[in-house]
């Protein structure tokens, strides 16, 4: 999308979890970890913005191996902010998360809600949000944090199809698709005794293409000396069981589930108010339904994982 909008793009990615094949051929790839960004982000290079999307993202794992998350998510981000300052890059857009809120005290969650993360992942991201606020004020950075809710779907355009390929996969929709495709026996349902309509956790799913578009809008809306923060979700909550039902409907396959213990650190319910992103960024989701998201994820899965077109 950046390329389509006339930007020159350099992608810093050490590919520890990424895929070179996911990179547009017109973009330049630099094989470095985030904390070494200063090697690329020099004052002479003339970058006019940085999008910082790299992180470890598995909330469950963050409870078991927190040290990995503090280093990869917080320490590396502070090094990146240092590099941005040294290179005098005016704008930084940061991938923050709904996990900063923990168990919310109000729903849908506005950006001003209490931040009390229930998992280490959310805490490591909140630390960076706080660092960006002070950086913007003290050093005139134009900073934007985009708090992603549950990203889903796939980006499909012409021959380009980009979807989730995590190894190991921990996310609900790709795992449910694996089960629908007979690549896993069953889906483990992490807890069915939460205080929700059917006992399973509620999340707000957002299509990856809608999410990507918000980054372009954020680049344009960033203002020096200000740290703007926007939630990105659709404002609709779905339980884990409801998501699995949509996967069954879209794929036409059964998805056997097995109730398992709760996953440590899971908030009960996360639903966004994205009113601010709509008002200030002019952001409107084009694919707001779970059917759209699961449909695109399934199209990607069939083409690229199962090799069927």
List residues with catalytic annotation.
121
Q: Could you say which residues in the range 138-157 bind ligand UDP, by CB under 6 A?
A: 150
Q: 83 vs 244, which CB is nearer to ligand UDP?
A: 244
Q: Does 92 bind ligand UDP (CB under 6 A)?
A: no
Which DSSP string corresponds to 42-68? Answer: -GGG----EEE------HHHHHH-HHH
CA distance 134 to 296: 39
Find the shortest distance in angstroms from Cβ 151 to ligand UDP. Answer: 8
Among 35, 115, 165, 263, binds ligand UDP (CB under 6 A): 263
User: How many chain residues bind ligand UDP (CB under 6 A)?
Assistant: 15
Q: Which of 9, 116, 181, 189 binds ligand UDP (CB under 6 A)?
A: 189
- Subset of residues 235 to 254 that bind ligand UDP, contact rule: CB under 6 A: 240
Q: How far is the CB of 57 from ligand UDP (least distance, A)?
A: 7
**Region of residue 13 (left: phi > 0; alpha: psi -120 to 50; beta: else):** beta
CA distance 114 to 117: 9
- Tell me the closest approach of the beta carbon of residue 12 to ligand UDP, in angstroms: 24
For residues 149 and 30, what is the distance between their CA atoms, to the nearest angstrom? 28
Cβ neighbours of 227 (radius 10 Å): 22
In eight-state DSSP terms, residue 308 is -
**248 or 263: CB nearest ligand UDP:** 263
Burial pattern 23-33, b for ≥16 Cβ within 10 A else e, equals beeeeebeeee
Which of 118, 20, 33, 138 is closest to 77 using CA atoms?
33
When asked if residue 170 is in the footprint of ligand UDP (CB under 6 A), the reply is: yes
Q: Least CB distance from residue 227 to ligand UDP, whole Å?
A: 23
Question: CA of 299: how far to CAs of 193, 196, 275, in Å?
Answer: 33, 31, 30
Q: Is 234 in the site for ligand UDP (CB under 6 A)?
A: no
Query: Strand pairing partners for 269?
Result: 202
184 binds ligand UDP (CB under 6 A): no
Check residue 273 for interaction with ligand UDP (CB under 6 A): no
In contact, 287 and 209? CB cutoff 8 Å: yes
- Pick from 12, 37, 51, 59 the residue near ligand UDP by CB under 6 A: 59
Pick 69 or 190: Cβ nearer ligand UDP? 190
Query: Which of 265, 232, 220 is CA-nearest to residue 63?
Result: 265
Whose Cβ is closer to ligand UDP: residue 89's or residue 175's?
A: 175
Helices and strands in the chain, H and E counts: 9, 15
Asked if residue 204 binds ligand UDP (CB under 6 A), the reply is no
CA distance 277 to 142: 16
> Which among 171-179, 205-213, 279-287, 293-301 is the span making contact with ligand UDP, rule CB under 6 A?
171-179
Candidate segments 4-12, 31-39, 164-172, 300-308, binder of ligand UDP by CB under 6 A: 164-172
Partners of 29 in the β-ladder: 11
Q: Which is nearer to ligand UDP, 62 or 135 (CB)?
A: 62
- Shortest spacing between CB 150 and ligand UDP, in angstroms: 5
Cβ distance 162 to 23 under 8 Å?
no
126 binds ligand UDP (CB under 6 A): no
Binding footprint of ligand UDP on the chain (CB under 6 A): 59, 150, 170-172, 175, 187-190, 201, 203, 240, 263, 266
């Amino acid at each position: 999308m950046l390329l389509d909008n006339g930007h020159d793009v350099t992608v810093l990615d050490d590919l520890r979890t990424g895929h070179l094949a996911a990179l547009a051929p017109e973009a330049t790839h630099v094989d470095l970890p985030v904390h070494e960004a200063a090697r690329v982000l020099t004052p002479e290079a003339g970058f006019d913005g940085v999008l910082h999307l790299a992180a470890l993202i598995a909330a469950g794992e963050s409870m078991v191996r927190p040290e990995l998350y503090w280093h990869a998510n917080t320490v590396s981000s502070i090094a990146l902010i240092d590099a941005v300052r040294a290179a005098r890059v005016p704008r930084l857009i940061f991938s923050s998360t709904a996990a900063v809120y923990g168990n919310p005290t109000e729903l849908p969650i506005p950006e001003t809600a209490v931040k009390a993360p229930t998992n280490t992942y959310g805490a490591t991201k909140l630390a960076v949000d706080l660092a960006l606020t002070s950086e913007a004020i003290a050093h005139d950075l134009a900073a934007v944090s985009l708090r992603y809710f549950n990203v889903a779907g796939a980006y499909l355009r012409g021959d380009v199809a980009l979807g989730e390929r995590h190894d190991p996969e921990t996310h609900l929709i790709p795992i449910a698709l694996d089960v629908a495709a007979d690549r896993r026996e069953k889906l483990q349902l992490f807890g069915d005794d939460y205080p929700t309509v059917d006992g399973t956790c509620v999340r707000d799913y957002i299509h990856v293409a809608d999410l990507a578009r918000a980054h372009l809008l954020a680049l344009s809306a960033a203002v020096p000396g200000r740290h703007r923060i926007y939630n990105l979700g659709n404002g609709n909550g779905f339980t884990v069981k409801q998501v699995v039902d949509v996967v069954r409907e879209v794929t036409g396959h059964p998805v056997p589930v097995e109730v398992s213990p709760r996953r440590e650190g899971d908030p009960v319910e996360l639903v966004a108010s994205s009113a601010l992103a709509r008002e200030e960024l002019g952001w409107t989701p084009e694919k707001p339904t779970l059917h759209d998201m699961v449909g695109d994820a399934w199209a990607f899965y069939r083409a690229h994982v199962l090799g069927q077109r």
